[in-house]
A = this chain, B = another copy of it.
Amino acid sequence: MVKASRESKTSAAQATARLRQAGLRPTRQRVELAGLLFQSGDRHVTAESLHDEVSHAGVKVSLATVYNTLHQFTEAGLLRQVIVDAARSYFDTNTGDHQHFFLEKEGLLIDIPGETIAVAGVPTPPAGLSVDRVDVVVRVRRN
C-alpha cells in the first residue's frame, strides 16, 4: 500500500511510475505497452498479440520494440516469460508464485493460483548449480 494521492493516477502516470521504479526510461512506447499490460488484471500476451493490440489502439510501435520491451520488462521483473509452446513465447503479467494450465490446441494459458499447487522434493541440483525457478505446466485438452 502506498499513500493515497488526492486524485487517482491515470494509467499512463502509473505506467511511468512503474517504469521508473524498474530503472527503465519511460518512453512513449514503453508507457503505452505498460499501460496495456498492467492496467487490467493478470494477462498473457505474445509479442505478436501485444503488437496487434497496441497497433489497433492507434499507437505506432514496431514489432522489434515490442520484443525489446517484453524482454526488458522480463529482466526488470515486471513480466515472467512462460515457454510452453514450441513456436511461441508467452509473457505473463503475474510475476508472483503461480503455475499454469496450458491448452495446446487453443494456445491458451490459464493461471493456477500460487498456493494451489505444492511441489515437494525438488532435489538439490548437480554441484555448481542453483535453482532459479520451478515451473509447473498442467497440459490439458478438451474431453
Report the interface size class on chain A.
35 or more
Task: Establish whether residues B137 and A125, one from each chain, have CB atoms under 8 Å apart when the complex forms.
Answer: no
**A86 partner residues in chain B, CB cutoff 8 A:** 81, 83, 89
Copies in the complex: 2
A71 vs chain B, min Cβ distance (A): 11
Contact of A135 among B81, B89, B118, B136 (CB under 8 A): B136
Known: A128-B143, A142-B128, A143-B128. A123 touches B133 (CB 8 A): no
Task: Establish whether residues A134 and B131, one from each chain, have CB atoms under 8 Å apart when the complex forms.
Answer: no
| A73-87 near B? 1/0 per residue, CB < 8 Å | 000000001011110
Give the top 4 A-B pairs by smallest Cβ distance, nearest first.
Answer: A129-B140, A132-B139, A118-B120, A125-B140
